[in-house]
Structure 1
């Protein structure tokens, strides 16, 4: 079971305390003799803390990481046993030219060191290209040669201080093995392209390799003070660096790195040039120091230095070649999209700018992609983008095809007509995305000839995305004027909301055949201070684009509820069966809409059953957040009406998934009444379906008495249109309600 983070956090501070205590004891011992066991207490506790920290790191990880830290805890356990054995040596063996240290103590040090080296060497390092492998080999060789030069100097110094006895050679071998462990850590860091162990942890392990040589240095320095010991001086720092390495691993886990990333799929680390240069610099300092001190250099030192310089030069030459390849790769990645493999926006805009002959720029984006992505998941969304990219490549042929970002694509080709025709044919077939068949609809903006094609195509695409032009817009001069007009409307919208320039009209919904008013539909109108009326067809799409439709919609709801409350007070609660309010697709994406509706009803004391929310099929076609909002509205008790029914994506399917109470049959079907049986077929089918499902139907756009009569014959009992009444201000609805009340009283 893993230790708790708070308990594990104590390892490094206690190890630091032991290291500081050791330093203070040695400084104090230079002046005052004391029991030689005192300096060994921190020397044993330090490695013991490292063993516990390594085991804790293993408990927090799994896979290769857990194996690595378990192996290192066993290796550090060997060092711990060696430190305890050396403590016994101090008590039982006499002090001669060498500090008391037995053969089995040295053996424990060597075993612990070899186990540590084995654990490091078995750590996975990931794959590399031949240049990367060659660079790694040269890096390793540089470190090995540097270590060899330093080892030759160290061996000479050791023999000079401790002689060539068997005990001295065993001590020298043990210390060199410990130093080799540090070299292995550095080599592993440099050679591994990927490592499951955080690099910070490996770098904390590297200084432990200096413990062996430093202990012999301290042995000579502390020789006049028999109660002090070189091994005891460095062992607390072995424990300190070990606990810091384990702490680095635990921090890495705590930062939320996934288990998979802890194994082998970490991003590759680039090897830098710092370590070879540092190795060369240190070797130069060492050789210079030896030459100044002795006046000559050994053959090993001269040959090693020469070899080192050749290795560094070779390494840098290969590194330059690798950097060139890397730059080429980066340049290619900058010009291509990672997901689809198409050209990137940067390449596409540059290609458009360089065109000298007349060309067409076609920009496309996928309709409803965000909803599809939300409903099916990002994996399916990515698969859909990739599949659509493949389709574009097949349709466009040898011309430039790019993904410009998100669900937007671009094509640069000599002419657009043939491409658009072939794309429409291809899009009639569904794309397969992560096991889902998806029919793709696109908005298309086209600019041909002339200059500034990319900007013009963007303007055309923006207009196409509104859906007012069937999803395909070709740029022309009038488009600039329309966009300028829309920009002006957008700037005026907020001012108009604040200034109270909007008002509601109400169109009656009547009972067939007599024409008695059952309810009304509220319709927003905008009259500017100069008397000019802005058409809803102009300002509603702008309000949708800018998001102001949410604020405007809240005002419409509140105003309609207030008017409904006034009619209830004046003419009784049953004077009108319902008051309908249109809600846009953008409003349905607002999760606060049900609260806004509930607040308006409560504020004006209107029963939820008297409010009808009208939505379009397109708004809820893909489900997701919009459909969830409709369900929440239905739970409030308001009625849900599908407006313009029969013209959307999947009408019959929506009747099963959407909590619908009313079907408003689109005017296009009403216009076909009185013609051939084929023209009346849909109107007849819709009322039959509604009756079977227990839904009310309202026929929209009734303009003639003949249409009203025929609708009644087909089973329709509610209708709306200019034949009965145009949208009118509240005062005229008042008059109609008063007349109905007077007739009832008579």
Structure 2
């Protein structure tokens, strides 16, 4: 509305018309001057209609070009006719009359015909037969009502106030044009004019038509309001196109408002028809006729009212259904917790926006599980909401951010080079690293980000896959960073995928073997036990080191099946050695158990079943676990407690390499410590390693733990470790890992004192 009030053209037209109204009153009692003034002010209003229609011919959508061309032509015809008649009145004084001469009448008829054709030719936008049927049903109701009005007041006027058939015909045409225009504007979905522009023109035609058959006193030319009533329609018609120009230039809020699924216009025409019908009743009509007429009208109004109430109820139901559908659509496309796009919506947006310069990011929060475990899921949800807000705040409006599930997010950066994407990612990580207060605790969030740049032919699934590879590479490098995908990463992952498939086959075909490394008593070289070490007897590559496949098996969960087999085979072999040498001290066997196995609820059952199947006493089985496998893990601690209750011994392997080793000594239910080889390799030359080895031995002695030193390769190392209090050791000094039949030979050989014997001799015998 502010744009309408400020528009200079509309203000000029209204001001011009107001001046005309003033002059009508100034020249009151002088009909000749009033008539000349009327025609002089009529001409610029006609010209405004022509110019406005012509401008809209290029501004409006192409499908309405013919409509506005016809309106412009009508305005031009009105301008020519009214200008000719105005000049005639000025040059050739005649009797004052608001009715034009022959030229003006012809031009008016041509212009009105152009308007009628314009209303007929503009597209209705009705696509289905049902829509067309409903439109023409309502249109017929309105047109019949308009025809009744035209007939009663123009062709056959009440009281016979008009005898000029030409005027009557033109008046009827005006009424019908106004009626049909109103019908199309109100009933079709996409009219050529916004409502605020169309209704002034519709009202103008109605006012102009009605004004021609007002009773005699209203036709007297010395009344100023007669001229005002006749000039007002011209103003309304002229304003219509200019209002539409403003609507197209600045937008019309009302044009996007939701339209009712039904129109009130046909009901209004029914009321108008009834009013005309009552006016047509003779004054001496019988009471029966009047009563019946009133009954028909009342019943019709009641039925129409009931139908409108039903329409209103249906609208409410449809409105609630639209709300429900909107909620379902949001649930289908957006994440309920963060409000971000979900995986489905993100994939669709990626397909729509993906180009050769797009970059995709995959974001995974580091150590998010710790927040859930220590602070609860409510705190975890609050953290995710905050992270989502910060992600949105660090991105541009054109970027798409989604939550794929859990603590994993994805971002699409359309038309963004790798360099620009790097700046965006770094800013994102900086924003995420700002402290967050959760339940009165301050949390610093870090994330690992994988970035991949789109290539020709890439699709959303390919980009997500490559970004996922880069994200895991970021985690492998230490977390809290971003890494860009390279083909080398893809090759490595492809090789791992092949390895995973081959591991499945190895599990099914039992391709694994165990070798055993002796654990000796340092005092006399006697073998006390062995550590079972797994090897993969690959059908093409031969023996594969566990370093190559154990980490992958742990990540995929295949370690559970592999570990179950290793337990069963180790127990069977230990029982076989025990049966073969019943008179000697039986060897215990140490089996490595990964963290993934400790979290397996079936592990305790698997151990019990393996012992029972082999007939091996539980005390001859040692489960070796690493510090990282049991670090702050309640499930792992519970499993170890259950294993100890079975009578199985527990050893803390690679001791001294984790950050919380000392705390574990108080909580972890182990029986022995195995000093990591990194503290043994330079124990003779590096004083710090000797100090650590000494401290571990003293703590173990105080806690009554057995101690085993790993990685012993020289006699000097063995002697020093024995002097520090270590009772047992293992390493290449005594033997490399050997097959089961080599343990018997080694047991005899290692019973000899190692003093003065070259380690190489023993190593050779162990091959």
Question: Normalising to structure 2: TM-score of the pair?
Answer: 0.50
Give the alignment of 1:704-715 within 5 angstroms. 704=714, 707-708=717-718, 710-712=720-722, 714-715=724-725
Distance (Å, rounded) in 1 between the aligned partners of 2:391 and 2:724: 47
The one of 447, 457, 468 equivalent to 1:461 is: 468
| 1:409 maps onto 2:414 in alignment | no
2:139 is aligned to none
2:466 corresponds to 1:476: no
- Aligned: 1:507 with 2:507: no
1:311 pairs with 2:309: yes
Correspondence for 1:448 among 442, 448, 453: 453
How far did 1:559 drift? 0.7
Report what 2:735 is aligned to.
725
Distance 1:598 1:401 in 2: 50
Deviation at 1:699, TM superposition (A): 3.3
Is 1:371–1:623's contact at 8 Å kept on the other side of the alignment?
A: no
Corresponding position: 1:614 with 2:624:
yes
- 1:498-537, aligned counterparts within 5 Å? 498-512=508-522, 515-530=525-540, 532-537=542-547
C-alpha contact 2:350 2:460 (8 A) present in aligned 1: yes
Give SS of 1:510's match.
strand
User: Does residue 1:379 correspond to 2:344, yes or no?
Assistant: no
RMSD over aligned Cα atoms? 4.2
**Is 1:372–1:622's contact at 8 Å kept on the other side of the alignment?**
no
Q: Which residue of 2 aligns with 1:338?
A: 336
Report how far residue 328 of structure 1 moved.
Answer: 5.3
Paired with 1:397 and 1:717, the residues of 2 have a C-alpha distance of 65
Task: Go from structure 1 to structure 2 and tell me whether the alpha carbon gap of 1:423 and 1:360 turns closer, same or farther (over 3 Å shift).
Answer: same
Does residue 539 of the first structure (1) align with residue 546 of the second (2)?
no
1:573-612 superposed matches below 5 A:
575=585, 578-612=588-622
User: What TM-score do the two structures reach when normalised by structure 1?
Assistant: 0.52
Distance 2:476 2:732 in 1: 24
Q: CA deviation at 1:331?
A: 4.6
Aligned equivalents of 1:651, 1:429: Cα separation in 2: 31
Counterpart-to-counterpart distance in 2, 1:349 and 1:592: 39
C-alpha distance 429-531 of structure 1, shift in aligned 2 (>3 A): same
Deviations 1:445-492 (A, max 9, x none): 442353457635535636865976656765322333333333333333
- Secondary structure class of the residue paired with 2:616: coil
Provide the rounded CA distance (Å) in 1 between the counterparts of 2:578 and 2:470.
43
The 3-state SS of whatever aligns with 1:614 is: strand
Q: Secondary structure at the match of 2:600?
A: coil
Cα 1:329–1:562 change in 2 (3 A) is closer
Identify the structure with bigger relative contact order (alpha carbons < 8 Å, sequence gap 6+): 1
- Given that 1:445 and 1:462 are in contact with CA atoms closer than 8 Å, whether structure 2 keeps it comes out as yes
Correspondence list, 1:554-565, <5 A: 554-565=564-575
State the Cα distance separating 1:659 from its structure 2 match. 1.4
Matches of 1:614 and 1:437 in 2, distance apart?
37
How many corresponding residue pairs? 452
The CA deviation at 1:333 is 4.7
Secondary structure of 1:343's aligned partner: coil
- Deviation, structure 1 residue 365: 3.4
Match of 2:654 in 1: 644
Match of 1:349 in 2: 347
- Tell me how far 1:563 sits from its aligned partner: 1.0
**Is the 1:360–1:453 contact (alpha carbons within 8 Å) kept by the matching residues of 2?**
no
Aligned match of 2:360: 361
Partner deviation per Cα, 1:303-351 (whole Å, 9 max, x = no partner)? 4332222233344456656666665555555443222333322343345
Q: How far apart, CA to CA, are the structure 2 residues paired with 1:426 and 1:668?
A: 40
Where do 5+ consecutive residues of structure 1 fail to align? 1-272, 274-293
Q: In the alignment, which residue of structure 2 is the partner of 1:488?
A: 498
Give the CA deviation at 1:444: 4.7
For 1:506 and 1:419, the matched residues in 2 are separated by 53
Task: Give 1:59-98 correspondences, 5 Å limit.
Answer: none
1:708–1:314 distance in 2 versus 1, CA, 3 Å: same
Match runs of 1:124-523 below 5 Å: 302-317=300-315, 330-353=328-351, 354-356=353-355, 358-366=357-365, 373=372, 377-389=376-388, 400-412=400-412, 444-450=449-455, 451-452=458-459, 455-459=462-466, 461=468, 470=478, 474-512=484-522, 515-523=525-533
Q: What SS does structure 2 have at the residue aligned with 1:522?
A: strand
C-alpha change, 1:728 and 1:469, in structure 2 (3 Å) is: farther
Query: Could you tell me how far apart the structure 1 residues matched to 2:359 and 2:523 are?
Result: 56
